[in-house]
């Protein structure tokens, strides 16, 4: 039975990847951080009681900032495959915590690679690094491919650039099977609530149920190439099954604006939009607000307000990937469209908003942040 070790197993991708590898018959080990509250909501459904014989999903406490901890876990597990998905993954937050982001996202990757080498696992253990389209930043070429030059625009992207090159370096220097998946944005109902797509689908569902008055957004003209996390974790595994390690762009090849994503989400809920605030083009304003799933929204209400607080010190305005190499060499193509993914996210967030609204209608107050 193959063994995989996943850092960031409690995150969006980690949870889908753990499910995927368990389905493939792997023994899956995940590293989770100590937190003062339970932080395993995304993986609770696949949790196996460690007291039961033959449990194939095992969790270890750990942190990418702790070399001895990582080395001990690697020594204990002796994995065939390591998926380094753990990271401080929020671009805006990285401007506020740049040093922590560098420690975890850049040096954390080095710690793992060095531990693999130190333990003499470099010929056994294959390594996947969660690289990112943020490396392209101020884009030099449209669409972006594996050969497009990098110009990172945030402490997060700069840290991930170190991680990218140290992964290439360990491959070249020590012959390790180590590769970078340069993944463009990918989302799902499990996406963290403060990333833009989830903030929109959750916010719109809450507005439709009368739980929130409006949505405060940053740069809604940013353009992104959004895929579904389920499609992208499949590709992470495929990248480790080749004869020769290589780096791949993973993207849909289609680009939309944040504004369009807002419009789709609103349409799913029958809300007609009205934008208001700094930098919003007047043509984006729609006066009428109606829809039978939007009881709290009255004609004339403003649904989307622009709050400069969400602007970034340096923005990545446009990203569009060309996944031709992944298609040609691995036969990978995304199966879920951006619009289908948006509809799925809205439907899941609407269920949660309805549960919340029901509790509220029975006199029970639940903070929106807890739903
Ligand atoms: P999430 O933010 O959902 O998950 C990040 C995971 O990393 C969580 O499990 C988190 O733990 C863990 N983590 C954070 N800090 C540490 C630390 N110091 N030590 C160990 N683990 C830590 O991210 P995604 O699942 O969306 O992304 C997975 C990876 O892919 C990340 O590296 C991200 O940067 C990268 N990426 C993501 C893209 C996307 O669009 N989703 C695109 C390109 C790259 P906890 O749950 O406790 O917070
Ligand atoms: P990104 O994702 O920065 O691309 O990084 P995010 O969803 O945070 O932002 C996408 C774009 O939307 C704009 N935006 C807002 N973003 C947030 N979070 N909140 C807002 O209110 C808002 N309004 C507008 C942003 O300015 C940006 O242009 C994600 C992460 O998953 C990274 O870990 C990963 O590496 C990249 O995707 C690829």
Q: What is the pLDDT of residue 159?
A: 99
Q: Is the pLDDT of residue 282 over 80?
A: no
Q: What are phi and psi of 14, to 5 degrees?
A: -55, -40
Nearest one of 202, 194, 335, 175 to 268, comparing CA atoms: 202
- pLDDT of 192: 98
Given a cut of 50, whether residue 279 has pLDDT beyond it is yes
Helix (H, G, I), strand (E, B) or coil at 29: strand
Quickly state the pLDDT bin for 53 (edges 50, 70, 90). confident
pLDDT above 60: residue 234: yes
- Joined together, the tokens standing for residue 21 give 């590898």
User: Is the CB of 311 inside a 6 Å radius of any atom of ligand 2?
Assistant: no
Which residues fall within 8 angstroms of residue 232, CB to CB, at 6 or more apart?
13, 181, 183, 186, 250, 334
- Residue 214: pLDDT band by 50, 70, 90 thresholds? confident
Mean of pLDDT values over 356-368: 83
Percent of the chain with pLDDT over 70: 92
ipTM: 0.99
- The stretches of the chain forming alpha helices (DSSP H) are 12-23, 67-77, 91-96, 98-101, 108-118, 155-174, 196-208, 229-239, 258-268, 324-330, 338-361
**pLDDT, position 274:** 73
Q: In angstroms, what is the span from residue 195 Cα to ligand 2's centroid?
A: 5
Residue 25 confidence (pLDDT): 97
Tokens 């080395």 map to which residue?
71
Atom number of ligand 2 nearest to Cα 319: 4
Catalytic residue IDs: 132, 134, 156
Categorize the per-residue pLDDT at 184 as very low, low, confident or very high, splitting at 50, 70 and 90. Answer: very high
Decide whether any atom of ligand 1 lies within 6 Å of the 89 Cβ. yes
At residue 284, the pLDDT reads 44
For the residues 64-82, what does the mean pLDDT come to?
Answer: 98
Ligand nearest to the CA of 194: 2
Residue nearest to atom 44 of ligand 1 (CA): 132
pLDDT tens-digit readout, 295-314: 456 666 778 888 889 999 99
Q: Which ligand 1 atom is the nearest neighbour of the CA of 190?
A: 3
Cβ atoms of residues 186 and 232 within 8 Å: yes
Tell me, in angstroms, the distance from the centre of ligand 1 to residue 85's CA.
6
CB 6 within 8 A of CB 17: yes
| Ligand 2 touching residue 201 (CB < 6 A) | no
Q: Which of residues 29 and 272 earns the better pLDDT score?
A: 29
């Amino acid at each position: 039975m193959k063994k995989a070790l996943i850092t960031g197993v409690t995150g969006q991708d980690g949870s889908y990847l753990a499910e995927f590898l368990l389905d493939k018959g792997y023994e899956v080990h995940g590293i989770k951080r100590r937190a003062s509250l339970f932080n395993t909501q995304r993986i609770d459904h696949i949790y196996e009681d460690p007291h039961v014989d033959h449990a194939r999903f095992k969790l270890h406490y750990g942190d990418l900032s702790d070399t001895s901890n990582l080395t001990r876990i690697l020594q204990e597990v002796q994995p065939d495959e390591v998926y380094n998905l753990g990271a401080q993954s929020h671009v805006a937050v990285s401007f506020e915590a740049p040093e922590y982001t560098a420690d975890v996202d850049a040096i954390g990757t080095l710690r793992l690679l060095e531990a693999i080498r130190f333990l003499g696992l470099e010929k056994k253990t294959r390594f996947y690094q969660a690289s990112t389209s943020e490396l392209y930043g101020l884009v030099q070429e449209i669409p972006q491919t594996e050969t497009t030059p990098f110009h990172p625009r945030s402490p997060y992207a700069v840290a991930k650039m170190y991680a990218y090159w140290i992964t290439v370096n360990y491959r070249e220097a020590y012959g390790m099977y180590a590769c970078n998946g340069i993944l463009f944005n990918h989302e799902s109902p499990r996406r963290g609530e403060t990333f833009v797509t989830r903030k929109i689908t959750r916010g719109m569902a809450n507005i439709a149920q009368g739980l929130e008055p409006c949505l405060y957004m940053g740069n809604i003209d940013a353009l992104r190439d959004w895929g579904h996390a389920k499609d992208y974790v499949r590709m992470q595994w495929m990248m480790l099954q080749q004869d020769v390690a290589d780096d791949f762009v993973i993207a849909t090849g289609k680009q939309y604006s944040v504004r369009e994503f807002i419009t789709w989400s609103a349409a799913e809920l029958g809300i007609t939009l009205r934008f208001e605030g700094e930098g919003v083009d007047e043509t984006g304003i729609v006066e009428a607000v109606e829809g039978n799933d939007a009881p709290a929204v009255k004609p004339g209400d403003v649904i989307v307000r622009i709050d400069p607080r969400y602007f970034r010190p340096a923005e990545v305005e446009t990203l569009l990937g060309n996944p031709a190499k992944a298609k040609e060499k691995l036969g990978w193509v995304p199966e879920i469209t951006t619009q289908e993914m948006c509809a799925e996210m809205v439907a899941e967030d609407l269920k949660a908003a309805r549960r919340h609204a029901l509790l509220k209608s029975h006199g029970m107050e639940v903070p929106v942040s807890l739903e």
